[in-house]
Structures are given as C-alpha cells and as structure tokens.
Amino acid sequence: MAGKVMEEPQTLEALRRQLAPAIADAVAFDGWSEEAVAQAAAMAGVDNELAQFAFQGGAMAMIAAWIGHVDERMAATTPAESLANLPIRERIRRLVMARLDAVAGREEALTRALSIMAMPQNVVAATKLGWHSADVMWRLAGDSATDYNHYTKRAILGAIYAATLQVYARDKSENKAETRAFLDRRIDGIIRFEKTKAKVFRAPDDRFSVTRLLGRLRYPAR
C-alpha cells in the first residue's frame, strides 16, 4: 500500500486537505494526535491506515494541512477579482478576515496549534507556513513586487497575521470585535510604514541631499 500511495502524491495531498477540517474538529477532545486522525477518517469513510500514513509527519503535518485548507477557503471566498477595485487596506483586511472565518468555531484547535508551532523544533516549519500564507494573501491582493518589497511586505503581514491569530483565539467579545479592532490598528500600521518607506526610498533626485545642501551653501544659486 505504501508504494501505491507514494506513486500518487497529489492524491495523498488531496486526502490531507479533505481530512484536515475534521481533524481540527476532533482536536478539542483528542489534540493534534493519531486519535484525531482516526476520528476524521471514520467520519469520512477513509481507511484509517491510509489516513495515518498521510499524516505520518505528526502534529505539524496535520496543522500544515489545516492551514492549506484555510488558504483554499480564503481564495475561494475572497477571489482576486472581488478585491480589484478596493483600497489595499481593505483588500488585506478582507483576506485576513476570510482566514479567520475559515477557522471560526475551532478556537481550541487554533490555540493548540499555535502552542505546537511555537515549540523550538517547529519554529522553522511554522515560519515557512506563515510566510506562504502571507504570500497567498499578497498575491490575491494584487501585489506583484519582485524587489525587496516582496520580502518586507510578506514578513510584516505574516507577523501581523500571527499576532491577530493570538488575539482571535482568546477573543470572547461579540462578533470578535476585539480582533477586528486589533487587526484594523495593525493594518493602519502597515499603511503608515509603506508611506514612510516610499518617502525614504523615493527617486534620488527628490531625496534630501547633504552634499547638495553643502554645495549650495558654498556656491549660492545666482
């Protein structure tokens, strides 16, 4: 059976995505464990041995599949064309909220996932997952930067999204009002940063030049 599965990696990945939401539902009782995989497999009518093989990477494999599911839900509910005419601030806000809507009702699974991802042995993998999610969001938002902006935008959004997840996981306010307010403040911070950065790195002819100033002091314009 193992040989057959290895010949069909796309099918195996599809199985992970299929089972991921049900595994997240089972986490409240079983944690990110083999028991949760078994529960999800039973509900989906999938052979348990096959399901366990698909998640042989353990908790992080399950969490990665769940994050992949969230990526897909976000792209399906907030496609790029629905954002095209909106300000960039609103595009990012809608994309992050779409991700949060995709995990709604599974706050316990989210809390446990965040704890596992914060473990020293998982930090590198967790960082890669966060980077990928930020990249998906920026691409849906229409970003096409290929210079250093490509990296700074994703690093900043990844950090903001991670912080927002922490707030969301423990937010008891009605309609997650605290999370929405927190996210809006952070997005405002991104916009201010981008505006400041644009001023600092604008065209050389427009930048303040100490050399030019000294030259004018020495040789005043006539």
* Domain ranges (residues) in the chain: 1-56, 59-222
Q: H helices of the chain, where?
A: 2-6, 9-30, 34-44, 48-54, 59-77, 88-103, 107-117, 123-140, 148-170, 177-200, 210-218
Q: Please provide residue 97's backbone torsions phi and psi, each rounded to the nearest 5 degrees.
A: -65, -35
pLDDT band per the 50, 70, 90 thresholds, residue 11:
confident
pLDDT for the residue numbered 200: 60
pLDDT of residue 8 exceeding 80 = no
pTM of the full structure:
0.81
- The per-residue pLDDT for range 134-162, each reduced to its tens digit, is 999 999 999 988 888 889 889 999 999 99
Nearest 5°: the CA angle 91, 95, 98 is: 140
pLDDT band per the 50, 70, 90 thresholds, residue 29:
very high
CATH of 59-222, one of 1.20.120.1760, 3.40.50.720, 1.10.357.10, 1.10.3720.10: 1.10.357.10
Structure tokens at 49: 């041995």
